[in-house]
Amino acid sequence: MKAVEFNNVTKTYFGKKALNQLSFSIEDNTITGLVGRNGAGKTTLMKIAAGYLKPSSGTAKVFSENPFESLHVSLNSIFVDDGMVFPSALPLGEILQEGARFYPNWNDRLARRLLDYFSLDPKNYHNRLSKGKTSIFNAIVGLASRCPLTMFDEPTTGMDEAARKDFYRALLKDYLDHPRTIILSSHHLEEIEDLLENILLIQGGQNFLHLPMSEFSSWAIAVRGSVEVVRDILDGREIIYEKTLGKNTIQAVVRNELTKNEVSDLRGTGAELFPVSSSDLFVYLTNKEKGGIDDVFNENESR
């Protein structure tokens, strides 16, 4: 069953498209990584799925119904980000009590144990917390809600490394015990890739790639060798990323679709072939130029 379905969804703000004919679907009880550069449309996507925003055009479905102003979707989904607002008059402990009243699957024992583990005083107030502690409390609410659709938008902002690792570990353990559909947005793909079953990469408000994480991890390959040999053998293939190394050596990244003859030819010339990490691939695919920041300096030098 599809937990989330977008069909040609466009969302326009002041004449600019945050989402542009975006289509994808996410299965029940999976963890999907939502990645993209700042401004790609990740937050807008999740706010539409949560029912906060209405598409300008196209259709969005959550649990097979329109999420906008849907009580059913509100009760069974949660959107966690650094903009979460709670009543300023309620201490943290009472906020958790209210969470138990609203979310049908709320686990108060988990919420209290996490609050204690992360050294959050239940008598403290949300608007008095540091940036990192605010993110931790918001994440606790997201985990304890156990909503069938749980969306985290950059949930570890401000957390130190230890807290980030603890959060991801808690998320995985609770997901294994209580499966639900989780969408996790992060700029740090290297921190979350082991959690993910699928990855949705959006760029310019569009679906750029949507595939199992295992396939994304092997989607590209890097080739390092002499400029003349590498460019000759890879002629006709799209170069995703290219970097000059020394006077006559380059490193090129291409789709992992090289033929046996191409691989043999490259190795016969002494060229090296090696895998590309998921985090590096994300950067290469979302760069405006195939040389990344190096192209800025190359352009300046050519003037």
Residue 254 has pLDDT above 80, yes or no: yes
| Distance separating alpha carbons of residues 114 and 212, to the nearest angstrom | 31
- Over residues 139-169, the pLDDT tens digits come to 999 999 999 999 999 999 999 999 999 999 9
Residue 297 has pLDDT above 70, yes or no: no
- Across 168-197, b (16+ Cβ under 10 Å) vs e yields bebbeebbeeeebbbbbbbbebebbbebbe
Classified as helix, coil or strand, 274 is strand
Check if the beta carbon of residue 60 is closer than 8 Å to that of residue 23.
no
pLDDT band for position 296 (50/70/90)? Answer: low
pLDDT band for position 207 (50/70/90)? Answer: very high
Check if the beta carbon of residue 286 is closer than 8 Å to that of residue 266.
no
For residue 302, what pLDDT is reported?
A: 45
- Predicted TM-score (pTM) of the model is 0.90
The domains located in the chain, with CATH, are: 2-216 (3.40.50.300), 218-287 (3.30.70)
Mean pLDDT, to the nearest integer, of 64-69? 95
Alpha helical stretches, state H, 28-70: 42-49
In eight-state DSSP terms, residue 23 is: E
- Over residues 80-104, the pLDDT tens digits come to 999 899 999 999 999 999 999 999 9
For residue 265, what pLDDT is reported?
A: 86
Check if the beta carbon of residue 193 is closer than 8 Å to that of residue 282.
no
Shortest CA distance to 283 belongs to which of 293, 274, 273?
A: 293
**136: number of Cβ within 10 Å:** 25
pLDDT band for position 299 (50/70/90)? Answer: low
Residue 103 falls in which region: left (phi positive, over 0), alpha (psi -120 to 50) or beta = beta
pLDDT band for position 54 (50/70/90)? Answer: very high
Mean pLDDT, to the nearest integer, of 211-217? 93
- Across 204-232, b (16+ Cβ under 10 Å) vs e yields bbbbebbeebeebbebbbbbbbebebbee
Residues 6 or more apart whose CB falls under 8 angstroms from that of 15 comprise none
Residue 235 has pLDDT above 80, yes or no: yes
Residue 263 has pLDDT above 70, yes or no: yes
Mean pLDDT, to the nearest integer, of 208-220? 94
Residues facing 7 on adjacent strands: 59
For residue 266, what pLDDT is reported?
A: 87
For residue 246, what pLDDT is reported?
A: 79
